[in-house]
Amino acid sequence: MAAAATCGTSAGNKGCTAAAAAAAGGKNNVTSFQRKGPRASVPDSGCARLVSIAGTRPSVRNGQLLVSTGLPALDQLLGGGLAVGTVLLIEEDKYNIYSSLLFKYFLAEGVINGHTLLVASAKEDPADILQELPAPLLDDNCKKDFDEDVGNHKTPESNIKMKIAWRYQLLPKMEQPGPVSSSRFGHYYDLSKRMPQELIETSKWHGFFFPEKLSPTLNIEPCSLTHGYIKLLQFIQNVIYEEGFDGSNPQKKQKNILRIGIQNLGSPLWGDDICCTENCDNSHSLTKFLYVLRGLLRTSLSACIITMPTHLIQNKAIIARVTNLSDTVVGLESFIGSERETNPLYKDYHGLIHIRQIPRLNNLIYDVSDVKDLAFKLKRKLFTIEWVQDNYLRQERNIYPPGFSYLLKQKDSAWGEGSLQHSTFLMSFLAKTAAFASRLVRHSEPLEQTDSRSILQAAGPGVWRDGRRQEAPGLLAIPP
C-alpha cells in the first residue's frame, strides 16, 4: 500500500491511485478474489493442472486438452491439434505410403514428449515400426535443412501481385516448417533419418502384434466381435487400467498421455472380412470395436490414431458408419496410378488430403478450414500440406474478379453440372456481378452520354472513367 500512497501524493491523480491500488492489491493478495491452493505462487501453474503434461496444450476454442499429431500443418487444419480422448481416423491411400507416414509422425511426437505408446498392427511388428520412426529436427542448426527443403520450391510466379483478385492475398498461410525447440507443441521430423536409438529405448511402449497373439489351436467361441478386435480391446483396456491412464484411479505418479496407434484396422489380416465381401456376417464388428474403443478413450488420458484401408472396404455403408464413430477423419488420396498424376494442374503435389470430419467438442461450431483444396507433397525430408495454388489458377485469379476462379474450379470438383449447388452458386455469382456493376454506375461520375447504352457498358469490367470501353486482352467480354 506504500506504493499507492506515494503515487497518490506525488501525482494527485485519483485514477492513478486507484490503478496502483488495484495492482498492489493483486500483488499482495489483499483482494478476496484469489486463487485457492498452494500452487498459486508458482508462476507457471496459473492455468489448468493438465497443462503440466508435456506435449499438450488446451484448445483456444473449446478448452479441450490437445496433443499434436506430429505434423503441425495437420494440427492447424484440425483446429489446433487432436483432442485427448478422441480418435483420428486416417483413410489410407491406395498403396499405404503416405498414411503410414502420418502414423509414424504421431508416434514420433509421442516419443519426443515422453508419452506412453501403444502400437497395434497385424502386418508389421510394432518393434519394427518404432525402429522406423523419423528423427526429430530439434536444433537450430537444422535451419539450413529447412532452407534447402522449403525454400527451393518458391517460384517467382508466386509473388505476382494480384490486381483484381486481391481477395486471395488474404488467404491464411499454411504453417511453414521451422526448427523448434523440444519444449514446443508439435515438432518437425526428418524423414530421411531414423529416430535415435536412445530416444526409442527411453520411451515406454506396448506392442500388440496380432499374429503373435493369435493362437491357431484355440477354438474361438462364436462371438459378436472378431477375435482380433476382442484381443486388442482387452490389451488396450489392460494398459489403460494398469498404467492408470483412466481418470477414475488417481495416478500416483506424474500424469501422462497414452498414444494409441492402430495400423490397417479393418484389413483382412485382423480377421475382418469387410474387405472381402460386401454383405458379410460380422459387418458390425468393426463398428462395435470403434464404439467400445471410443468409450475407453473418453474416460482416459489417451489419444488414438487409426489407419484404415477404406478403399478396400466393399460396403460403402460401413465407411459411413465408421466415419460417424470416429471423431476426426482425414482422407489421403495419392495420385499414384490415377489420371491426376499426369495432370499438370497437380504436378507439384503427390496427392490430395481431405478433411472429412472434425469433431464438435463442447460447442456447436467446429474449426473447419477455410480452404478445402489441400494437397500434400512428400519432399526429401518433410511431408508438407499446401493449398493447391498452381500457376494457372494464380494467373486466372489475376484476370478475373473474385469468385470467378472459384466458379471455374468447380468444373472439376464434386459439383455436377446442373446440380443444386452449382446452380445456386451461379445465381449468387450473377447477383454479385450485378451488384458490382450497379455500384460502378452509382459511383461513377456523370457521363457524357446519358442514354441507356452507356450504362449497359458500364456493367462490364473494362470501363474507363469517361464511359468508353477499353479493349483489354484477357478480360471478360460481355456478350452483346
Residue ranges that bind another protein, judged by CB under 8 A: 95-97, 100, 122-123, 125, 132, 163-164, 211, 214, 216, 267-273, 275-278, 309, 311-312, 314, 336-345, 392, 395-396, 399-400, 408, 411-412, 440, 444-446, 461-463, 470, 472-476
In angstroms, give the least distance from the CB of 318 to another protein.
12
Nearer to another protein, 312 or 358 (CB): 312
The nearer residue to another protein, 123 or 432, going by C-beta atoms, is 123
CB of 283 to another protein, least distance (A): 12
CA dist 417 and 414 (Å) reads: 9
- Name which of 15 and 344 has its Cβ closer to another protein: 344
Q: What minimum distance in Å lies between the beta carbon of 51 and another protein?
A: 36
Q: Which is nearer to another protein, 235 or 346 (CB)?
A: 346
Q: How far is the CB of 470 from another protein (least distance, A)?
A: 6
Tell me how far, at minimum, the Cβ of 407 lies from another protein, in Å: 10
> 381: buried, middle or exposed (CB in 10 Å: 19+, 13-18, 0-12)?
buried
Cα–Cα distance measured from residue 239 to residue 92, given in angstroms and rounded to the nearest whole number: 27
Asked if residues 324 and 342 have their Cβ atoms less than 8 Å apart, the reply is no
Minimum separation from the CB atom of position 392 to another protein (A): 6
Write the DSSP assignment of 84-144 as a string of letters: TT-EEEEEPPTTSSHHHHHHHHHHHHHHHHT-EEEEEESSS-HHHHHHTPEEE--SGGGHH
Beta-carbon count within 10 A of 423 CB:
12
Minimum Å gap between C-beta 216 and another protein is 7
Output 105 or 185, the one with its CB closest to another protein: 105
Polymer length of the chain = 480
The C-alpha cell 457521363 sits at 447
Residues 6+ apart with CB under 8 A from 267: 122, 123, 275, 309, 312
Q: Which is nearer to another protein, 253 or 465 (CB)?
A: 465
Where do we find the cell 472396404?
313
Nearer to another protein, 13 or 192 (CB): 192
CB crowding 26-47: b at 16 or more within 10 Å, else e: eeeeeeeeeeeeeeeeeeeeee
What CA–CA distance (Å, rounded) separates 286 from 265?
Answer: 8
User: What's the closest the beta carbon of residue 420 comes to another protein, in angstroms?
Assistant: 23
Nearer to another protein, 179 or 268 (CB): 268
